[in-house]
Structure 1
C-alpha cells in the first residue's frame, strides 16, 4: 500500500499573488478540510500549508502560506499534490483508493488469471478499470457490481465476471 495519496495536480497559476488552480483527483469538497499538502517538486515532497481554498468550475484554487508571488509557484505547474494516507478520508463499503487498485492482479471468477489493473478512468457515472491482459491488450471494465465481484486489497487481487460484449 502506498503511504501517500494523490489529491490533485497543479494545472496553472491563478493571478499574481501565488494562487494555483488544482485539478482534484479526490472529492473537491475535501480540500477545505486539509491543513496542508505535500508538493512533489521532482526531487522531494515539500510540505505546503493551505491558507485559502476556493472553487472555480471543476478546479480548486489554493493559496499556500508563505507563497505570495506568482514567481514562487509558477515552476510547479503540472506537479502533483499528495497527503499522507492517515490524512485520507474514511472509505465506505466498496470504496477504494485508486493507489491501492493500480497494479492489482485481476482474476476471473473461476480463479484463472486475466491481467493487471493499470489505470482507473473516472467517467462520472461509474469508474472504468483499465486491465492489461497477458498479450499486452487493454480491456476496459466498468466498475459495477455485475462485473467486479470482489476486491481484496490485502491480497492485491480483484475478481471479475466478464460480461458479454466486453472482449
Structure 2
C-alpha cells in the first residue's frame, strides 16, 4: 500500500483563470510545485486520489498559487477547496547526511549514551536555528531535545532509535 505525504492544503480559488491558493506543508515547494510535475489531489469523500499535472506555480502573500493542466477556469476548480495535495513516498528525494524527513524521526525511541530510556519522539518543532524534538517521557512528561551535534550522538531511522548526550539541565 502506497504511503502518502501531505505537501499542501487547498484553501481557496484565486482569480478566474483556474488558480488555487495553497497553504504549503513542504520544505521543498520549488521541487514539489515544479511545472510539469504530477501531484495528487485528495478529497475527504473520495477513496481514490486524482492525479494532476502542475501547469504554473507562483508565490503570492505567503500562499502558493497553482494551476493544473486541463483546469483553466475558476468553475473547474471550485470543488478543490478544502482538499489536500500529496505525493507518494516514491517522490521523496535523498537528503544529505544527518538530515531526515520528519516522518523518519517521529516515533523513534530516545535513550542516553548511558542507556537510560527517555521516551519516544512525538513531534518536531522548528523555532529557528535548529529543530527541537519533543519526547514524551515514560512519566508522561515532555522533554525538549535540540537537534544539535553536541546533544544528538546517533540517529538510526531503520532501527527507530536516537542516542543523545544530555547537556547539563536538559533532563531536569
Relative to the length of structure 1, the TM-score reads: 0.83
Q: 1:57 offset after TM fit, Å?
A: 4.6
User: What's the offset of the Cα at 1:96?
Assistant: 0.8
Mark the runs of 5 or more structure 2 residues left unpaired by the alignment. Answer: none
Match of 1:32 in 2: 34
SS at match of 2:30: helix
Contact kept, 8 Å, 1:21 with 1:60, in 2: the verdict is: yes
- The residue correspondences of 1:71-90 to structure 2 (distance < 5 A) are 71-90=75-94
What TM-score does the superposition give when structure 2 sets the normalisation length? 0.81
Q: Deviations over 1:82-121 (max 9, x none)?
A: 2122222221000111111121212222222111111112
- Does structure 1 conserve the Cα–Cα contact (< 8 Å) formed by 2:35 and 2:54? no
| 1:15 maps onto 2:15 in alignment | yes
1:146 counterpart = 2:147 = no
Q: How far is the alpha carbon of 1:77 from its aligned partner?
A: 4.0
- For 2:90, what is the secondary structure of its paired residue? helix
In structure 1, C-alpha distance between the alignment counterparts of 2:22 and 2:126, rounded to whole Å:
17
Query: Could you tell me whether the CA contact under 8 Å between 1:8 and 1:26 is conserved in 2?
Result: no
- Match for 2:117 among 106, 113, 116? 113
Bigger CA radius of gyration: 2
Q: Partners of 2:145 and 2:103 in 1: how far apart? A: 17
Write the distance in 1 (CA, Å) between the matches of 2:116 and 2:168.
Answer: 18
From the superposition, tell whether residues 112 and 72 of structure 1 become closer, same or farther in structure 2 (CA, over 3 Å). farther
5+ residue gaps, structure 1: none
Partner of 2:139: 135
- What is the CA-CA distance between 1:74 and the residue it aligns to? 4.3
